[in-house]
Structure formats: C-alpha cells, structure tokens
Amino acid sequence: MLPLILLATCAPLVDPVTMAAVVQNESGGNPLAMHDNADGKSYSPKSLDDAVALAKRLIAAGHSVDLGLAQINSKNLQWVGMTVVQSFDPCANLQASQQVLVDAYKRAGGDLKGTLQIYNSGKATGSQYASNVYGKAGVLVPAIPGGAMAAWTKKDTQVQAGVPFVAKVQWTPAASPFSPDGSGFSSSW
C-alpha cells in the first residue's frame, strides 16, 4: 500500500502531513524500527521475526522500547490494545499512533506543539520534539490551526496608491523548457 493511502486508511483522524512528519521523525518510515529507551540504542532488524524476538527480550528485561513505524512505546501496548507482533504491522501501528495523538491533542487543549510533546514524553512542556516534527514536514512557521486566508489577500493589491499590481512575465528561449525541433516544440525536461 502506498504511504499516503496507508496514512489515510489507518489514521484518518490525524492530518496526513502531521502523521507523515511524526513517522519520519520517529522511524524514518521503517516499520521494523526499534529504540531502547533504557540504553539509547536504536535497532533496524532485518525481519519481522527478528524484530519481535528482540522486542520481547528487551521488554522482558524491563526496558521501555519504542516499536515500529510511529514508535509506539511498549508501556502503551496494553492501553492501545496491541501486541508486540501487531506493533510492527504498519497499519496497526498507525492506528495506535492515532489513538495516542488524539488523546494527547485533547490533553493539550488542541495545541499541536503540546500534542507532539505529549506524544514524545507524556508531558506538554518543552518544544524540541515538536520543532523536530515540524521540521520533518518542512514547516518553520506553522499555519494558524483552523485559520483561513486573510481578507486582504482576496482583493486586488495596490502597490502604490491608485496603481494596481501587475505581474510582468518575460519569456526568453533560455528560460523555457521547450525548444523548437522542426515539427513544433519538444520538451527538454
């Protein structure tokens, strides 16, 4: 399944840009990724069997382990209703991530940065994790949640009093991706 379809199908309550950025930040898109919070080591097992065996061994040793695509913490498995094996299924992992994010969003009072901080640490304070996720989405300054484009942007813009702004487009052959080929134009992309 294509990643965008996976996001829309498995986590429809979370904006796909947000979920994609969380996944990029957490696992880089690796459904078998693991991070052991006890010793700070990250793992990329080669197979599902290897991932499950390692995760079970670390959890049995009392380690807190982040699992799968969106790095669901092992301490949350019971709460989200999933097993270690299920945590490595991309869709099940995104469903669990959605559950955690929706809960965090409510706890953060609708504040996205607070939501992301809670997702990462359980606390709404701090901003480094949220900033990292925003960066993965290519966002330096986010949109106002629920905001609409301001009214002035829908009117003709006046650069000088009484003079409407008109964009001047200048075409040159060097700036064009098209070139004559004798029978018309061909693309040089």
CATH code, 92: 1.10.530
Q: Are 28 and 58 in the same domain? A: yes
96 contacts 87 by C-beta, under 8 angstroms = yes
State the pairing for strand pair 178-180/163-164: unpaired
In-domain check, residue 114: yes
Q: Are 13 and 94 in the same domain? A: yes
Q: Is the pLDDT of residue 165 over 70?
A: no
* Residue 125, pLDDT score: 83
Q: Are 7 and 64 in the same domain? A: yes
Q: Are 100 and 166 in the same domain? A: no
In-domain check, residue 165: yes
For residues 52 and 139, what is the distance between their CA atoms, to the nearest angstrom?
Answer: 35
Q: Are 121 and 170 in the same domain? A: no
Q: Are 118 and 165 in the same domain? A: no
Q: Is the pLDDT of residue 173 over 70?
A: no
Q: Are 164 and 112 in the same domain? A: no
**Please, which pLDDT band fits residue 2 given cuts at 50, 70 and 90?**
confident
Q: In whole angstroms, what separates CA 184 from the centre of its chain?
A: 44
Q: Are 119 and 178 in the same domain? A: no
The tally of domains found in the chain comes to: 2
Q: Is the pLDDT of residue 103 over 90?
A: yes
**Please, which pLDDT band fits residue 164 given cuts at 50, 70 and 90?**
low
Q: Is the pLDDT of residue 187 over 50?
A: no
* Residue 146, pLDDT score: 72
Q: Which domain holds residue 62?
A: 3-136
* Residue 188, pLDDT score: 46
Place of tokens 């469903």: 95
In the structure encoding, which two tokens stand for residue 137, read together? 């989405």
Q: Is the pLDDT of residue 138 over 90?
A: no
For residues 184 and 176, what is the distance between their CA atoms, to the nearest angstrom?
Answer: 14
69 contacts 94 by C-beta, under 8 angstroms = yes
Average pLDDT over residues 55-79: 97
Q: Is the pLDDT of residue 126 over 90?
A: no
For residues 65 and 35, what is the distance between their CA atoms, to the nearest angstrom?
Answer: 6
Cα 92 to Cα 60, 85, 89, 139: the distances in Å are 22, 10, 5, 27
- How many degrees, rounded to 5, is the angle at CA 70 between CA 68 and CA 76? 80
Place of tokens 């966002």: 139
For the ranges 4-8, 62-66, 70-74, the lowest mean pLDDT is seen at: 4-8
- pTM of the full structure: 0.74
Length of the chain counted residue by residue: 189
Q: Are 76 and 28 in the same domain? A: yes
Average pLDDT over residues 178-182: 52
**Which residues, in sequence order, are CB contacts of 175 under 8 Å at separation 6+?**
none
Q: Is the pLDDT of residue 155 over 90?
A: no
101 contacts 117 by C-beta, under 8 angstroms = no
